[in-house]
Structure 1
Amino acid sequence: MTRFPAFRLAAVQAAPVFLDPAASTEKACRLIREAAARGAALAAFGEAWLPGFPFFLGAPMDEAFWRASAEYIASAVEVPGPETDRLCRAACEAGIDVAIGVVERDPRTLGTVWCTALLIGGREGAIIGRHRKLKPTHRERTIWGDGPDGSGLRAHQRPYARVSALSCYEHMMLLPGYALVAQGTQVHVAGWPGWEPAEAPRGGYLWPRQTLLSRAFAAQGACYVLCVGGLRRREDVPERFRGLCGPDMTGDSLIIDPRGEVIAGPAEGETILVAGVSLEAVAAAKAVCDVAGHYARPDVFEVRVDGQPLAVASAVTTQGVHRPEGIRPNRDKLPEPI
């Protein structure tokens, strides 16, 4: 008799400490320990969780907007960096894998941030996957840069399953998801800002549709999906910027089975949503429809993914500085930062 791996998945729905990477990291470590104590093999956080989704995007582009933008870039994290090192230690100490959205600052220019999904291995205590969101949506483009390449489109083999991750409207793009399904993903983390409106405003557009797109991904990919929404209430935003805050993000996280059925959630408030799962359900769903296998038509369609890392400048050379003989730099007289 075949024995299929059975394990538990955790969707962590909680507000970060906005614009405070150190405090957000500390809170994430506590939540990681709580998820591990509940027996989860994988704990997943929402999009841009560390140190928070850019709550000010819908505000007028006045002086307060630009102050918030500057603080947002300053509070982003570098990968690797002290915050991610701390998350790796927490995952290793708890013995649990962690998928978490971070706002990643480009260490080369210090002026661009990406919406990045990290996968941290609990056994290794290390970052094993990093995917930068390929295309920010709508007003997100005013603060996030395009992911520079497809090197992070990977399904990672873990002891319990193959795991992948995308952010928000990457699930609308079709091809990134297909690239992961073609690698046999069995557990997929769909990170969202955390807002599922009941109805569209009059004459408006209903978005982000996180439930619909996450359920579709689960059914098409024949995989479990952790639809993890962020949580943001007005009181969670620093008081100095509350005038810029858009509508509350209510989370609405779900865990979805390989047939697209909701098996846990929607979550309310700060909570950790946990569900027991088995790869037997994945195998059964793929037996019916494996969209990158027996349900594909390679004679008609071909999908090519460029997974090579790219860089704007691979090497920068500068000429030496000419200094007259006998003159040495006097760094003691350099002004101190104010």
Structure 2
Amino acid sequence: MLPRFKAAAVHAAPVFLDRQATTEKAVAIMREAAKAGAELIAFPETYIPAFPVWAALWAPIDNHDLFVRMADQSVLADGPEVARLCAEARALGVTVSIGISERSPVSAGGLWNANLLIGEEGDVLVHHRKLVPTFYEKLVWSSGDGAGLKLAETRLGRVGCLICGENTNPLARFALMAQGEQVHVSSWPPMWPTRRPAGGGNFNNVVANRIRASAHCFEAKVFGIVTAGYMDAAMRACLIERDPDIADVIDRTPRAASFFVDPTGEMMGDVLQDDEGIAYAEIDLNRCVEPKQFHDVVGYYNRFDIFDLSVDRTRLTPATFREDVRATVPAEPHASRLAEISVGEDTFG
């Protein structure tokens, strides 16, 4: 029999651009979810320290100060905030998926949109950086790499995660399917403004996220945890104080929803959109088996003699440094070798 467990989708706001306070809020949420019986707890996209929605609202020339704050409050992947989360996951015995704005250790302004899958022993099992920042996110984050296209092997099953628009990328999704994914976490921002109200036709992220989550779960025959951010009154006030004219855009942009999807693509469990909180669902991985009879795209329902996917999981770095090995060669053996050659020349010259 395959595992059965309770999962939690966190539909919560950060303490806006405050990494330490947001980390403590995350710990409190983890404790609440664990107390309710959840063994897998999923947080939204870049929960720490916030999602940079301002990049959609104002021109880059007006946002330099916000980028500086974002960089200052982003976290190192091996920093104290992540250590705090890992310690709490171990204390609670839970698996955690959480989005962070990751700070580069070699660049004061280098950032990635990243997600961490933390195991119940407190280890980071998967560290994924979003492959391509979406639309205006390019003004904040750098492109990631394939090093995080891996599954977390847990007691609960094989857990994978893609961030926001990556769930539109069929090759990224297939890379996780091909490793035997059983639970798929998709993380999202609290809102996704694309037009002013007068322009009409604002992007409906609720419908889009539902389509993408259902498509992946149906194709992979996996369970989906859809976890979206939440804009609270404090975050809204901070943005509107900066520019009161932007209130109409914020208030008329659809708020994202957090929910669950079963292996047939149907929604299940709790749904949260307009209220901050934690959504729950009971997951039974045995329900992933029967649908594989219909379509198994990583099994019999494919043509691997026709299609060939190669994934480079190299972690990219700014430079590769090679030390000068000559500087480490001792002087005496070198001198001895010269004497040996000299003797040989005298003898046979």
TM-score by length of 1: 0.86
Contact kept in structure 1, 2:16 and 2:234, CA below 8 Å: no
Q: Which amino acid aligns with 1:128?
A: L
Contact kept in structure 2, 1:194 and 1:253, CA below 8 Å: no
User: Aligned pair 1:252/2:251, yes or no?
Assistant: no
Report the 3-state secondary structure (helix = DSSP H, G, I; strand = E; otherwise coil) of the residue aligned with 1:24.
helix
Q: Which moved more, 1:186-195 or 1:27-36?
A: 186-195
Task: Report how far residue 160 of structure 1 moved.
Answer: 1.5
Task: Report how far residue 291 of structure 1 moved.
Answer: 0.9
Q: Distance in 1 between matches of 2:192 and 2:258?
A: 9
Report the 3-state secondary structure (helix = DSSP H, G, I; strand = E; otherwise coil) of the residue aligned with 1:58.
helix
User: Aligned pair 1:284/2:290, yes or no?
Assistant: yes
Contact kept in structure 2, 1:91 and 1:97, CA below 8 Å: yes
Task: Report how far residue 241 of structure 1 moved.
Answer: 6.8
Task: Report how far residue 240 of structure 1 moved.
Answer: 7.2
1:206 to 203, 228, 251: 203
Task: Report how far residue 277 of structure 1 moved.
Answer: 1.3
1:20 to 12, 18, 21: 18
Q: Distance in 2 between matches of 1:200 and 1:67?
A: 23
Task: Report how far residue 205 of structure 1 moved.
Answer: 5.6
* Aligned position for 2:142: 145
Q: Which has the larger radius of gyration?
A: 2
1:187 to 168, 180, 183: 183
User: Aligned pair 1:51/2:49, yes or no?
Assistant: yes
Q: Distance in 1 between matches of 2:192 and 2:284?
A: 28
Q: Distance in 2 between matches of 1:296 and 1:254?
A: 30
User: Aligned pair 1:127/2:127, yes or no?
Assistant: no
Task: Report how far residue 200 of structure 1 moved.
Answer: 11
Q: Distance in 1 between matches of 2:168 and 2:18?
A: 31
Distance 1:296-1:194 versus aligned 2 partners, 3 A rule: farther
Number of residues of Structure 1 aligned to a counterpart in Structure 2: 313
Task: Report how far residue 192 of structure 1 moved.
Answer: 0.5
* Aligned position for 1:229: 228
Q: Distance in 2 between matches of 1:59 and 1:256?
A: 31
User: Aligned pair 1:178/2:174, yes or no?
Assistant: yes
Task: Report how far residue 299 of structure 1 moved.
Answer: 1.4
Q: Which amino acid aligns with 2:224?
A: V
Contact kept in structure 2, 1:163 and 1:185, CA below 8 Å: yes
Q: List alignment gaps of at least 5 residues for structure 1.
A: 319-338
Q: Which amino acid aligns with 1:194?
A: P
Q: Distance in 1 between matches of 2:37 and 2:226?
A: 19
Contact kept in structure 2, 1:7 and 1:41, CA below 8 Å: yes
Contact kept in structure 2, 1:77 and 1:83, CA below 8 Å: yes
Higher helix fraction (1 or 2): 2
* Aligned position for 1:333: none
Report the 3-state secondary structure (helix = DSSP H, G, I; strand = E; otherwise coil) of the residue aligned with 1:188.
strand
RMSD (Å) for aligned C-alpha atoms: 2.3
Task: Report how far residue 44 of structure 1 moved.
Answer: 0.1
Distance 1:290-1:262 versus aligned 2 partners, 3 A rule: same
Cα deviations across residues 118-159 of structure 1 (Å, max 9, x unaligned)?
00111x212111100000111110111100x20100012111
Identity %: 35
Q: Which moved more, 1:243-252 or 1:229-238?
A: 243-252
Q: Distance in 2 between matches of 1:127 and 1:309?
A: 15
Task: Report how far residue 243 of structure 1 moved.
Answer: 2.6
Contact kept in structure 1, 2:146 and 2:313, CA below 8 Å: yes
Q: Distance in 2 between matches of 1:107 and 1:28?
A: 23
Task: Report how far residue 233 of structure 1 moved.
Answer: 3.4
Contact kept in structure 2, 1:179 and 1:305, CA below 8 Å: yes
Q: Distance in 2 between matches of 1:65 and 1:6?
A: 46
TM-score by length of 2: 0.84
Q: Distance in 2 between matches of 1:195 and 1:142?
A: 17
User: Aligned pair 1:239/2:235, yes or no?
Assistant: no
Task: Report how far residue 309 of structure 1 moved.
Answer: 1.6
* Aligned position for 1:274: 280
Q: Distance in 1 between matches of 2:130 and 2:289?
A: 29
Q: Which amino acid aligns with 2:235?
A: D
Cα deviations across residues 45-97 of structure 1 (Å, max 9, x unaligned)?
11111111002112333765111111111110001100000000111111111
Q: List alignment gaps of at least 5 residues for structure 2.
A: 325-349
1:99 to 97, 100, 117: 97
* Aligned position for 1:311: 317
Distance 1:130-1:27 versus aligned 2 partners, 3 A rule: same
User: Aligned pair 1:264/2:269, yes or no?
Assistant: yes
Q: Distance in 1 between matches of 2:285 and 2:172?
A: 23
Q: Distance in 2 between matches of 1:15 and 1:116?
A: 17
Task: Report how far residue 247 of structure 1 moved.
Answer: 2.1
Contact kept in structure 2, 1:252 and 1:265, CA below 8 Å: no
Task: Report how far residue 242 of structure 1 moved.
Answer: 4.0
Q: Which moved more, 1:95-104 or 1:258-267?
A: 258-267
